[in-house]
């Protein structure tokens, strides 16, 4: 008996075969490493019956003991017969002995039954896979031998055919036969476009080309495909597209641009308009800007900028580009003891800093304003006191000799000038601001100094003197020698210029010394600077006039703007 050998390990039994390394003990096949007996003295033995693989039905002396591993207690000492049954494995019967009080754990290895499959496939040459493993081609028959009994997943693939797959039960000791006829698969075509054009197209991860124009992808097996469109600056777009046999499927991918940004640098306080819509004043960053071309207007200067998808742009408007000159805060002498009665007395006035147009507003600039008025009306820019039904079109607009783009716009009334200035995000200068820009902080007689306009060889202004009179307006900025101390041009001659203030003969008597703004009401507004027909000594920087008193306002009055820029 086993117990007599004094072995301490479980033994392994394999039917009536003896494996390498096993020994024969008391008529049983015993693994010298695994075989053994342990336990205390008792009237009956304890047995744990094990199989490889597990899950076999266990019978001891013909009595069912459950599935392996099966624990059998209280077994009488002596020899016993064990039988094991497991699907797709050969039935195995073995003997074991157990002594009084012994506890043993024998293990039996079950033998897997072998079967086969004869597979006939149409069309010939299909690839056969068993449980995912490539077993070669069926031409048209593939004889699969030595398959373990049990259920196997068979997959058959062939170009131009639908894949066939099935689970087939293989019985031990038998060769099953199966005929497989693969269904022909149809082919279709995809025509792919992107909006905007040019996206790179990937079909099931493979590069199919660029959709700069409609991209045709031919000979696609019918079914559903994952198609990805990729274009720089746009979010990738993935679509599932069904392809039908013998048909053309068209698909256009509408791509969504990645957010773009624009960093805008402008003078502090400058009004900003994007595509005609007002935005916050001053420098700023525009996020999530639509890709494409945008109109950026700062004051009355407009630029176009093209923003590419997913990228950032920078745009700068300098004070010079805005056509403006910065006038610093400070004091200056306003009026004169040598002037006409309405310009006396001379007094010191203090102004906050501001900016003023370098030249008069031109025909070109005013035309842009008229276009917006025609498109949107003037409701956002008109003065509250403007007469109902008033047009901002100057009476002489379009007359021969007046429409040169860089001439000063002439024939505008005060309400026209006010509306333009508000449209541009500016305002009309006060009379004090106008005079300060013209004569500088030192109180010069003319913008350029104390010499007469035609002194020496220089012509400094478009005035009505015999040496420099032109009989009409000239392109703004044509007389750089006549610039003021800060570089403001045409402040003597060329065109009268509207100011914000009401006119009064005695406005300088007892007026405020800090940012004076003239009377609160009046009969007419102030004009300054004279026109192309004026004598130089009538348009000194301190000379004043009322708008309704100038000769022929239809052809001689224009304006320039100011703004609170820094």
Structural domain total, the chain: 5
Whether 332 contacts 348, CB under 8 Å: yes
CA-based nearest residue to 157, from 147, 165, 167: 165
Single residue among 92, 109, 126 that ends a domain in this structure: 109
440/383 same-domain check = yes
Crossing angle for the helix pair 363-376 and 414-423, nearest 10 degrees?
80
Give the domain CATH number at 92: 2.60.40
Whether 20 contacts 43, CB under 8 Å: no
What does the alpha-carbon distance between residue 504 and residue 137 come to, in Å, rounded to a whole number? 109
330/457 same-domain check = yes
293/424 same-domain check = no
pLDDT of the residue at 554: 74
Q: What's the whole-model pTM score?
A: 0.60
478/394 same-domain check = yes
What is the share, in percent, of the chain residues with pLDDT greater than 90? 65
pLDDT of the residue at 26: 32
Element containing residue 313 per DSSP (H, E)? strand 312-316
Single residue among 300, 322, 344 that ends a domain in this structure: 322
Calculate mean pLDDT across residues 484-512: 94
Give the domain CATH number at 393: 3.90.1580.10
369/268 same-domain check = no
349/450 same-domain check = yes
What does the alpha-carbon distance between residue 411 and residue 397 come to, in Å, rounded to a whole number? 8
Asked which of 47-51, 74-78, 224-228 is least confident by mean pLDDT, the reply is 74-78
Average pLDDT, the chain: 87
475/384 same-domain check = yes
411/389 same-domain check = yes
C-alpha distances out from residue 58 to 15, 55, 78, 210, 435, Å: 14, 9, 18, 68, 118
Q: Where are the beta strands (DSSP E) in 31-163?
A: 37-38, 44-52, 57-60, 63-67, 70-76, 78-85, 92-98, 103-104, 107-109, 114-122, 126-130, 133-138, 141-148, 150-157
> For residue 477, what are its two tokens?
């900025």
Calculate mean pLDDT across residues 476-494: 95
pLDDT tens column, 407-449: 999 999 999 999 999 999 899 999 999 999 999 999 999 999 9
Residue-range definition of the domain harbouring residue 315: 260-322
Q: DSSP assignment of 141-190, as one string?
A: EEEEEEEESEEEEEEEE-TTB--EEEEEEE-TT-EEEEEEEPPB--EEEE
pLDDT band at 1 (very low <50, low <70, confident <90, very high): very low
Single residue among 58, 87, 109 that ends a domain in this structure: 109
Whether 363 contacts 370, CB under 8 Å: no
Calculate mean pLDDT across residues 101-117: 90
Q: What are phi and psi of 442, to 5 degrees?
A: -90, -5
pLDDT band at 43 (very low <50, low <70, confident <90, very high): low
86/230 same-domain check = no
pLDDT of the residue at 31: 38
Is the bond into 123 cis (omega within 30 degrees of 0)?
Answer: yes
How is the beta sheet containing 126-130 ordered, strand by strand?
133-138, 126-130, 150-157, 164-170
C-alpha distances out from residue 211 to 240, 390, 422, Å: 17, 55, 48
Angle at 20 between CA 16 and CA 24, to 5 degrees: 50
CA-based nearest residue to 276, from 355, 380, 360: 380
pLDDT of the residue at 455: 66
Whether 266 contacts 316, CB under 8 Å: yes
Give the domain CATH number at 231: 2.60.40.1120
Q: What are phi and psi of 509, to 5 degrees?
A: -85, 110
pLDDT of 272 higher than 90:
yes
pLDDT tens column, 71-86: 998 889 899 999 999 9
What does the alpha-carbon distance between residue 283 and residue 295 come to, in Å, rounded to a whole number? 16
| Burial grade of 224 (CB within 10 A; 0-12, 13-18, 19 or more) | exposed
532/447 same-domain check = yes
pLDDT of the residue at 471: 78
412/545 same-domain check = yes
Calculate mean pLDDT across residues 363-371: 95
Helix then strand then coil, in percent of the chain rounded to 5, is 10, 40, 50
| Burial grade of 184 (CB within 10 A; 0-12, 13-18, 19 or more) | exposed
pLDDT of the residue at 36: 39
pLDDT of the residue at 292: 85
100/201 same-domain check = no
Residue 192 DSSP SS3: strand
pLDDT of the residue at 159: 85
Give the domain CATH number at 295: 2.60.40.2070
């Amino acid at each position: 008996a086993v117990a007599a050998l004094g072995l301490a390990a479980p033994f392994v039994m394999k039917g009536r075969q003896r494996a390498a390394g096993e020994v024969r003990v008391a008529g049983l096949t015993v693994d010298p490493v695994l075989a053994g007996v342990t336990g205390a003295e008792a009237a009956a033995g304890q047995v744990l019956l094990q199989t490889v693989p597990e899950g076999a039905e266990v019978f001891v002396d013909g009595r069912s003991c459950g599935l392996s591993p099966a624990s059998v207690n209280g077994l009488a000492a002596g020899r016993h017969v064990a039988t094991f049954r497991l699907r797709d494995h050969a039935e195995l019967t073995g003997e074991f002995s157990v002594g009084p009080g012994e506890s043993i754990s024998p293990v039996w290895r079950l033998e897997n039954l072998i079967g086969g499959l004869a597979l006939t496939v149409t069309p010939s040459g299909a690839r056969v896979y068993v449980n995912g493993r490539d077993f070669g081609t069926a031409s048209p028959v593939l004889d699969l031998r030595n398959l373990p009994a049990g259920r196997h997943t068979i997959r058959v693939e062939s170009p131009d055919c639908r894949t066939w797959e099935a689970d087939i039960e293989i019985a031990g000791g038998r060769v099953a036969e199966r005929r497989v006829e693969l269904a022909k698969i149809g082919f279709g075509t995809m025509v792919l476009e992107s909006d905007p054009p040019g996206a790179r197209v990937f079909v099931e991860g493979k590069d199919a080309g660029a959709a700069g124009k409609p991209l045709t992808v031919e000979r696609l097996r019918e079914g559903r495909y994952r198609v990805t469109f990729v274009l720089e600056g746009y979010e990738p777009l993935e679509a599932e597209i069904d392809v039908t046999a013998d048909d053309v499927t068209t698909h256009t991918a509408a791509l969504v641009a990645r957010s773009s940004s624009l960093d805008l640098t402008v003078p502090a306080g400058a009004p900003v308009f994007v595509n005609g819509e007002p935005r916050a004043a001053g420098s700023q960053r525009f996020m999530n800007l639509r890709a494409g071309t945008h109109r950026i207007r700062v004051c009355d200067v407009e630029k176009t900028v093209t923003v590419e998808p997913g990228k950032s742009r920078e745009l700068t408007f300098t004070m010079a580009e805005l056509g403006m000159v910065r006038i610093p805060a400070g004091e200056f002498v306003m009026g004169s003891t040598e002037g006409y009665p309405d310009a006396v007395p001379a007094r010191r006035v203090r102004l906050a800093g501001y900016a003023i147009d370098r030249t008069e507003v031109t025909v070109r600039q005013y035309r842009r304003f008229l276009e917006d008025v025609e498109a949107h009306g003037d409701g956002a820019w008109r003065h509250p006191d403007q007469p109902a039904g008033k047009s901002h079109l100057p009476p002489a607009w379009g007359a021969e000799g007046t429409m040169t783009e860089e001439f000063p716009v002439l024939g505008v009334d005060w309400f026209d000038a006010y509306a333009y200035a508000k449209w541009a995000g500016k305002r009309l200068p006060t009379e004090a601001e106008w005079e300060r820009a013209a004569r500088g902080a030192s109180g010069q007689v003319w913008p350029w100094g104390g010499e007469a306009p035609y002194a020496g060889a220089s012509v400094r202004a478009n005035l009505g003197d015999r040496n420099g009179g032109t009989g009409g307006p000239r392109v703004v900025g044509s007389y750089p020698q006549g610039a003021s101390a800060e570089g403001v041009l045409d402040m003597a001659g060329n065109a009268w210029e509207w100011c914000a203030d009401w006119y009064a003969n005695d406005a300088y008597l007892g007026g405020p010394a800090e940012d004076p703004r003239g009377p609160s009401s009046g009969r007419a507004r102030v004009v300054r600077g004279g026109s192309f027909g004026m004598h130089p000594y009538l348009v000194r920087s301190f000379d004043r006039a009322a708008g309704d008193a100038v000769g022929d306002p239809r052809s001689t009055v224009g304006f320039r703007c100011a703004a609170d820029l820094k």
